[in-house]
Chains A and B, each alone.
Chain A
Amino acid sequence: MRLIIPLAITFVSGMIMVLHFFVPHWPINIMGDNLQEWFMIVTAAAIFLGALNLMHVHFRKIKLKLKNWKYSPVTIIGFMAMFVAGLIYGVTSARPFDFMFMNMVAPMGSTMFSLLAFFVASAAFRAFRASNWRATLLLTSAFIVMLGQVPIGAMIWDKIPLAKVWLMTFPNTAGQRAVMIGAAMGVVSTSLRMIFGIERSYLGGTE
């Protein structure tokens, strides 16, 4: 029963969603709409679980003094400050939650992401080598796109932005489309395998 019930739920839910796409009439439309709302409720609950798990992980880290445990109090205090501010004063504009978000979370988030530029520069210096004709082609394309993506490219030669647009529109699109079609076929095949109970890894265990 532990196996059959989840498989049956997956089959019925999956079939309703497939039918909902093709049959927008009663009773399929009602069932489809309800399932979509349930999905939203389940994902909202998952956020709650995620928050609880975050706290559990960091309290455990402090308790057992695991590696880098000294950062955990910062996470817990930050989380609790935002949580309490949101709970007491709400999340609308000009409230403590909004103030902390715009003046602390936003600048810190942007700072973390901007660090990427330093690592990209260092990695490009060490790894971007014209070691064969394919790598040289990639390197040349990268240079054209990097120059075409900034105004200085047009200042050097006004054809560089045009070359960038051509590269992005034709060779890039051809490659991206191949990846997209491949990924989409993989999604369809995995979804069908899950609906018909062939793929069971999402249930946990090895079977």
Chain B
Amino acid sequence: MASIIEKLGNTDRRIIFILIALSVIIPVTTHLIFPNPVGAEPSRDMYEYVDALPEGCDVLMSFDYGPSTMPELHPMAIAITTHLMRKDINVVCMALWPEGASLAQEVMSNVADSLGKEQYEDGCNLGYKTGGAIMIVRLGSSMNAVFPTDRDNLPWDEIPMLEQISDLASFDLVITLSAGDPGVPAWVMMAGDRFGVPVGGGCTAVSAPQFYTYLQTGQMVGLLGGLKGAADYETLVGIQEGPAVEGMAPQSVAHLVIMLFIIIGNVAYFSEKKKKGGRE
């Protein structure tokens, strides 16, 4: 028995890699779907805030992520944009990350096409600008000065849906989908605290814990944390078997496998400790 535990404790890392790969591949290929109950989580707060927004209001969505965090943040972007457009809310996109502009375009095009929405009337993409938090402060005094044209080089004045927008305070909500810096903290500190615009958002699961402070103080109206947050939003919006809900099964199995390895590692550790104690 002791030798089996010892062997398990010295498991080759390639075996761990194979088991992790299988724990993802099998649920994906067998289309395993787990029901995703949504409790009293910040993702529900986010949904309820967006759902309470009146028709025709303006929301700024900032795509502050790149391809590396797409699996977690892209489903959130799709679910939120779908919710906003279904409610006939005007969606203005921008990005604090260079790659975010292309990702925003992809989301806007797909969602707008599926719901029969028009570019420049229901949604537009302003693109990327450098500067992070400083750029957000500048948006607080003039949007037009920072974005004289949209991503496709159409002048600001020729975009009908931007007629009523002059600065950040023109928006009813700012939603940031953030994978790091610049992201949630910059929007909360500048758009929320300085200009009084409500801020909500989504982030990777690994960075979600640090933003719970903003939820407790009311500096954020809601937060989608990782793929679970995206799956919650998909469930609440009613997107049937969206990418995040589909991703919950592989993630569940992978978490169980990791926990199993941690338990095996600890059993081996204590067994070895006992053995050493016995020798002494």
Contacts and interface: CB of A to CB of B under 8 A. Distances in A.
Is chain B a partner of chain A in the same complex?
A: yes
Given A108-B67, A110-B67, A114-B71, A40 B255 contact: no
B278 interface: no
Contacts of B137: 36
B70 interface: yes
Contact of A165 (B11, B35, B39, B69): B39
Given A117-B20, A149-B255, A155-B34, A169 B216 contact: yes
Given A102-B106, A121-B261, A112 B212 contact: no
Contacts, number: 168
A191 to B, nearest CB: 13
Interface stretch (A4-12, A56-64, A122-130): A122-130
A80 interface: no
B166 interface: no
Interface in A130-187: 130-131, 139, 143, 146-147, 149-155, 161-162, 165, 168-169, 172-173, 176-177, 179-180
Contact of B20 (A121, A152, A155, A161): A121
Contacts of B36: 151
A39 interface: yes
Given A124-B261, A155-B34, A33 B152 contact: no
A184 B105 CA distance: 35
A97 B135 CA distance: 26
Contacts of B226: 149
Taking residues whose C-beta sits less than 8 angstroms from the other chain, chain B's interface range is 35 or more
Given A130-B266, A176-B210, 5 more contacts: A36-B131, A40-B146, A93-B109, A118-B20, A173-B213
Interface of A: 21, 29, 33, 36-37, 39-40, 43-44, 47, 91-93, 98, 101-102, 105-110, 112-114, 117-118, 120-122, 124-126, 128-131, 139, 143, 146-147, 149-155, 161-162, 165, 168-169, 172-173, 176-177, 179-180
* A-B CB proximity, top 8 nearest: A109-B67, A152-B252, A113-B68, A40-B131, A106-B67, A43-B130, A150-B252, A125-B261
Interface of B: 11, 13, 16-17, 20-21, 24, 34-37, 39-41, 66-71, 98-99, 101-103, 105-106, 109, 129-132, 134-135, 137-138, 141-142, 145-146, 151-152, 194, 205, 208-210, 212-213, 215-216, 225-226, 228, 231, 248-249, 251-259, 261-262, 264-266, 269
